[in-house]
């Protein structure tokens, strides 16, 4: 199990927590005031004991009560202000972090979601709430314990040099409890958190492909995997608890030993006449306050470990590599021709090279034996990956000069049905407020989905769930095509996904796409003999060859 270095810990705290530092400072100041005022009771008791010992007058007692009440009221005001400030911190931290994470996820390179479990990445959002609660706890009770210890130790030092030595021993013991268990406790907290997310990710997988585990054999597979992941979590949880438990036992032992020691030491000094009875009572109250707090400090140490584990999880989202999105700008295209000029890239041991001009407004049909050539072509066209050699141009611009955000408004690739949990209309427009509902209905008619408007009670406002319901797979493909029709991009690329649609609907869609004012590139395993394309393409190893008929393409491919 890898240990977390101090530099790593500080770097991650700085990344996630620094923007709200003004709240921490204000909260600390209020906490300092509360801690100083917490000494009002032991000092008042010292004064009371001395007053009772040397005088029986009630006037000093009344004054003492009034002063104590005033100080405690002021302490209460500072406490209330601290609570209010920390509520503001929670609100701002949540809004800022969630907003930044939204942007980070949107801007992240698509390959990061292919290499990692996207659900696991998004689940880390819930650690934002862990940070909120842990920081609030640490900035109130945690800081109070620290400040009361510092102030109490300084007060003890004024009573007697022996008390100063006692305070130094106490601080040293507390420091040792922290140092001896810190690294393993922090590391185990991180591993426990990872194991927790592995369990959550697997449970979501069970929900996502629930039907897969409906047979007896496959059900056993799901249960066994759950048991293994639960076992991993419990292993790291026990390891983490072991560190926290040892810290708790150590703090309780310190509490018992040092309480008895201060009692004996104080009594000895009173007998020797080096300490008044009032000072003894005050010192005993101060030490009891300090030690009582530290006997419960294991709870706040665990909050600190949970805080770091949460910060560690969130920081991974901040560290996602982002796409090269340039600031919004206006492009002056002389045309929308797509040119692959010896654009090449090596993936694994295979080299892919493309050299062809796609004239704007023309229609192209491609029949591929090797799916990888199509995948790499589409990823290059969308700037999901970049060519290692050569150049790809849109009109008079290299695609490297065009922000991926703007490029994907020009080029629309349909390789998988994509949708989000929202209404049909929201999925068709994806935030484009210029699209009218009548345009959405017209697009649905083209892909033969307009009957949904009539059969579903809410029509365009029918909600699509994350499972795709109420649509089935081929309908989701048609919905994706309808979105492209509404969007009116300059280049439309459709893969063999369209082959899953029934022939009648496919023909309707093809007839419309071939007439659109855009470049249309179709990858299909079905014959297109009923349609007229401008060129029929064969993807060779290092070039794209164009033919004037589907028959010529078939003969060249044999």
Give pLDDT tens digits for 143-196.
888 887 787 777 777 777 887 888 888 888 888 988 888 889 999 999 999 999
* Predicted local confidence at residue 227, as pLDDT: 93
- What's the confidence (pLDDT) of residue 47? 65
Which residues on adjacent β-strands are paired with residue 394?
338, 397
Task: State the pLDDT at residue 39.
Answer: 67
- The residue among 92 and 458 whose pLDDT is bigger is 92
Task: Return phi, psi of residue 488, to 5°.
Answer: 55, 60
**3-class SS at 361?**
coil
Confidence band (pLDDT; 50, 70, 90) for 205?
confident
Q: Which residues contact 485 (CB under 8 A, 6 or more apart)?
A: 443, 446, 447, 512, 513, 516
Contact present, 446 and 508 (Cβ < 8 Å): yes
Q: In this structure, is the dihedral angle defined by the CA atoms of residues 520, 523, 529 and 535, taken in order, positive or negative? A: positive
pLDDT of residue 479: 92
Report, as an integer, the average pLDDT of 390-401.
89
User: Mean pLDDT in the chain?
Assistant: 85
HSE toward the beta carbon, residue 378, CA cutoff 13 A: 20
pTM of the full predicted structure? Answer: 0.78
d(CA 451, CA 460): 11
Residue 554, burial from CB neighbour count under 10 angstroms (0-12, 13-18, 19+):
middle
Task: Quote the pLDDT of residue 1.
Answer: 63
Q: Specify whether the CB–CB gap between 183 and 3 falls below 8 A.
A: yes
Residues 518 and 364: beta-carbon distance below 8 Å: no
Most confident of 1-5, 235-239, 326-330, 340-344: 235-239
State pLDDT tens for residues 253-290: 888 888 888 888 888 888 888 877 777 777 777 777 77
Burial classification of residue 115, based on how many CB atoms lie within 10 Å of its CB (0-12 exposed, 13-18 middle, 19 or more buried): exposed
CATH topology of domain 338-557: Rossmann fold (3.40.50)
pLDDT band at 295 (very low <50, low <70, confident <90, very high): confident
**Cβ-Cβ contacts under 8 Å for 139 (sequence gap 6 or more):** 24, 27, 28, 31, 82, 86, 89
Q: With 80 as the cut, is the pLDDT of residue 60 above it?
A: no
Q: 398 has which bridge partners?
A: 393
Residue 88 pLDDT grade (very low, low, confident, very high; cuts 50, 70, 90): very high
Residue 54 confidence (pLDDT) above 60: no
pLDDT exceeds 80 at position 6: no
Confirm if 425 and 458 have CB atoms less than 8 A apart. no
At 323 the pLDDT is 77
Percentage of the chain lying above the pLDDT 90 cut? 25
If you average pLDDT over residues 70-82, what whole number do you get?
A: 85
**What pLDDT is recorded for position 237?**
94
**Which part of the chain is CATH 3.40.50.300?**
338-557
Residue 557 to residues 237, 537, 553, Cα–Cα distance (Å): 59, 10, 6
Residue with tokens 């665990």: 302
Q: Where in the chain is the domain with CATH 1.20.1560.10?
A: 20-318
Instruction: Give the separation between CA 322 and CA 109, rounded to whole angstroms.
Output: 5
pLDDT given at position 338: 93
How far apart are the C-alpha atoms of 302 and 191, rounded to whole Å? 14
- Per-residue pLDDT at 486: 93
Written as six digits, the tokens of 497 are 């996904």
The conformation of residue 139, written as its DSSP 8-state character, comes to: I
Q: Which CATH number does 20-318 carry?
A: 1.20.1560.10
More confident residue, 521 or 33: 521
Give the count of alpha carbons within 13 A of 546, CB side only. 14
The CA distances from residue 30 to 298, 396, 532, in Å, are: 23, 62, 77
Per-residue confidence at 40, pLDDT binned at 50, 70, 90? low
Largest interatomic CA distance in the chain: 118
């Amino acid at each position: 199990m890898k240990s977390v270095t101090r530099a790593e810990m500080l770097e991650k705290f700085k990344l996630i927590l620094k923007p709200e530092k003004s709240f921490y400072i204000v909260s600390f100041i209020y906490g300092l005031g509360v801690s100083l005022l917490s000494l009002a009771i032991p000092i008042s008791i010292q004064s009371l004991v001395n007053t009772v010992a040397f005088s029986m007058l009630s006037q000093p007692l009344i004054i003492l009560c009034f002063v104590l009440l005033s100080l405690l009221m002021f302490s209460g005001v500072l406490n209330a202000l601290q609570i209010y400030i920390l509520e503001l911190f929670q609100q701002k931290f949540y809004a800022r972090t969630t907003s930044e994470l939204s942007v980070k996820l949107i801007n992240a390179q698509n390959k990061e979601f292919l290499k990692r479990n996207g659900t696991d990445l998004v689940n880390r959002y819930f650690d934002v709430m862990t940070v909120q609660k842990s920081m609030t706890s640490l900035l109130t009770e945690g800081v109070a314990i620290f400040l009361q210890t510092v102030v109490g130790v300084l007060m003890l030092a004024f009573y007697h040099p022996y008390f100063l030595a006692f305070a130094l021993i106490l601080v040293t013991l507390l420091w040792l409890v922290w140092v001896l268990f810190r690294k393993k406790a922090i590391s185990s907290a991180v591993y426990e958190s990872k194991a927790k997310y592995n369990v959550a990710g697997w449970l979501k997988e069970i929900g996502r492909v629930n039907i897969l585990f409906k047979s007896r054999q496959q059900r056993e597979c799901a249960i066994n995997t759950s048991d293994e992941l639960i076992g991993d979590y419990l292993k790291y949880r026990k390891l983490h608890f072991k560190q926290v438990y040892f810290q708790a036992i150590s703090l309780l032992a310190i509490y018992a030993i040092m309480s008895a020691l201060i009692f004996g030491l104080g009594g000895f000094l009173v007998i020797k006449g080096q300490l008044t009875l009032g000072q003894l009572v005050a010192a005993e109250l101060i030490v009891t306050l300090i030690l009582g707090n530290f006997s419960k400090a294991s709870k706040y140490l665990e909050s600190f470990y949970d805080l770091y584990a949460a910060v560690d999880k969130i920081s991974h989202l901040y560290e996602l590599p982002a796409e090269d999105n340039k600031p919004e700008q206006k492009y002056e295209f002389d045309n929308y021709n797509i040119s692959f000029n010896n654009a090449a890239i090596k993936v694994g041991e295979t080299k892919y090279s493309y050299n062809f001009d796609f004239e704007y407004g023309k229609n192209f049909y491609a029949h591929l034996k090797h799916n990888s050539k199509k995948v790499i072509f589409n990823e290059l066209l969308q700037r999901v990956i970049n060519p290692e050699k050569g150049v790809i141009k849109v009109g008079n611009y290299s695609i490297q000069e065009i922000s991926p955000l703007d490029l994907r408004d020009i080029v629309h690739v349909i390789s998988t049905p994509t949708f989000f949990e929202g209404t049909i209309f929201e999925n068709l427009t994806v935030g484009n407020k210029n699209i009218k509902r009548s345009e959405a209905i017209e697009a649905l008619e083209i892909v033969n989905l307009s009957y949904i408007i009539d059969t579903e009670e809410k029509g365009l406002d029918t909600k699509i769930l994350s499972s795709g319901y109420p649509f089935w797979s081929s309908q989701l493909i048609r919905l994706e095509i309808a979105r492209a029709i509404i969007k009116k991009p300059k280049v439309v690329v459709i893969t063999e996904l369209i082959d899953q649609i029934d022939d009648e609907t496919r023909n309707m869609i093809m007839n419309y796409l071939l007439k659109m004012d855009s470049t249309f590139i179709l990858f299909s395993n079905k014959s297109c003999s009923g349609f007229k394309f401008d060129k029929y393409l064969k993807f060779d190893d290092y070039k794209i060859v164009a033919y004037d008929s589907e028959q010529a393409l078939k003969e060249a491919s044999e």
